[in-house]
Structure 1
Amino acid sequence: MSGVYTIVKGNTDISRLLQGHINGSLTNAEKEQLLAFLSNLDNVEDNMDAINSVCEQFVGGPPLYLEGEVEEMIQQIIQTNNIPLKTSTNPTQTGKVVFLRGMRWFKYVAAALVILLVGYYLWPNAEKTKTDLVQQISPSFNDTPLVSGSVLLTLSNGEKVALSKVKSQSIKEGDLHVKNENGTLTYEKSNVVVYNTVSTPKGVQFNLSLSDGTVVQLNAASSITFPTSFSGENRVVRITGEAYFEVAKNSSHPFIVETYKDKITVLGTHFNVNAYPEEEGVKTSLAEGKVRVNNTVLVPGEAYKNNEVMPTNIAQDLAWKNMVFDFNQCDLKAVMRQISRWYDVDIVYTSVIPSMRFYGKMGRDLTLVQILSILEKSDVHFKIEGKKLIVSK
């Protein structure tokens, strides 16, 4: 692993030890000191600022681990180093480490020990996995980070315009003028009211600015239909797939997003809507402000899906717009759906889908082979045939 990580938060001693471990500069005595520190769950919980700081930097890298593997690896780390795990829940407990999934500290230990102690050593082995995987790829496969399909603008008369072919130009539809510059489509206020649709292919994101100043970011394999100029009481758009909205405030004219299932009403706010049909329900996540989904009001940090309100990890919900895959707590099928939409491959399962959950983040600028080589650290194997991605145990 290359690069030097700097920890900016937390207790000075643990920060120094964690930084030294990541940078490979610890002495044997310091390694023992770090292991002893992390084996005490009270220490871990009391110093989460320092641990979270380095995890935030390092978990964005390649290591991914299955939920079932976490416990086993922590067990092996502690036993291999002959250091007993001290818990605050049962200080007399001896022998095998007992992991309590419901305990608040479980995720702390998992992050600290698995990411910092295990991930550091396992990642270099991914190059061998990648070599093995390449041998299973058909010669015609083009392993590029993104597909090269064009974003399409469908005008009110049905004409389709490939936006990649009209960069830095204005698009005219009657008296309507639309600017297409720097990867953003901008609609100016006009008396012309017709409906346009912007559609993204797999592997491509796109931004547009509506006539009221609302900014929309479309994820891959998504679309938005909207009026070229808002008139009437409400500002109404309709989406498929996924989109992030920064809505221009106008209390007199509520902004409404329609999906195949839900209707989201806002006055001015930032929120994300995931309405891919294959995701089995529309998920609306609120980052800022207030929205009403059907008849339910959300506050920041909440999401609405399948008629239920739930707390949500906003950073994870918005990771896509920052060009990141965030697979934390995702099962295999959820991971594969994201990969299918981004790399334009069709997923084929040849066996019973393993029950597993993944933890970790990866950049969307990685190639498909790089992504799969990391995922193959789990008990899953991949083979690429044309546009088919075959998944097996």
Structure 2
Amino acid sequence: MAEASVVSSSEEPEERAIEAALRPKFLDEFVGQARVRRQLSLVLEASRLRGRTADHVLLSGPPGLGKTTLSMIIASEMNAPLRISSGPAIQHAGDLAAILSSLSEGEVLFLDEIHRMSRPAEEMLYMAMEDFRVDIVVGKGAGATAIPLELPPFTLVGATTRAGLLPGPLRDRFGFTGHLEFYSVAELELVLRRSAGLLDLKVTSAGFSEVAGRSRGTPRIANRLLRRVRDWALVHGIEQIDARAAAAALDMYEVDAKGLDRLDRSVLTALASKFGGGPVGLSTLAIAVGEEPETVETVAEPYLVREGLMGRTPRGRIATPAAYAHLGLAVPAGAPFAEAALFGPGSEGTDAPLADADDDVG
């Protein structure tokens, strides 16, 4: 089992109460995602002027960027109740029918990880979204009867980290689709300033910059790191957190200046030192760092690729020149960087064959 990481973009159960207190309640308070915010504001304002429920909304993007927060904001802006569920929790059509039949008029239903819903529930959702009606099947076999059940108008807000897995018919039924991007350092500083005010923390501008620069472009991580810095400052009796204090605190938690943690650096070091820069298969790389392949692939690899520190090729993972520079190592002769130019960061076309090809290498 992988150890907990302060730079993981997943939300730990014990953090939910703290995160809830830091979440903005209205669009005007939401920091970043200016394009999505403007478009969503227009959709909601038009719905209010028409006196109707808002169109169904699909929010996509990496974890920790604010999809759940935006769903809560939609309910607040529409002055409507919010019901929260998730795709993995809806494995049967009856599960979805029970939720839909209990909705009140105008209610906002938030389905997290909507791409992980079962197919029967997904097909029932088509009719519910379009016609506000579902058919409840009673009985089995030739004697089965479909009883139509009318639903009150509601707004579905779906969130997904993998929009490509959503079937076309479901995606097309959303009236508005917004894709959330990673935050800039300047935007994260604004997030941290707001959170520091709510937490009653005294932080200098340089302190905010230090934390924001190590937050991997993700508000959830930024807020988590801010709380860890707060704990460090409390224990050390520091009243005002400056850049030096923030750096010392985050260094203690093994989060370096680029936002890499112990696992990230272990993966890069293994690639650069043990395997001469690669290419090396995922399974072999995971064994070298003492982790499960899924942990390396889903936790460490996305950020390393996005930052240009690792390349993905059909023959395996490779370390880039930026990785050697970050680790302070000399670039070996004959390093496979030419391949990285073809299959480097942001190359989506290599995702499918990599899983098979990688395990044959190494």
Scaled by the length of structure 2, the TM-score of the pair is 0.28
Greater share of residues in helix: 2
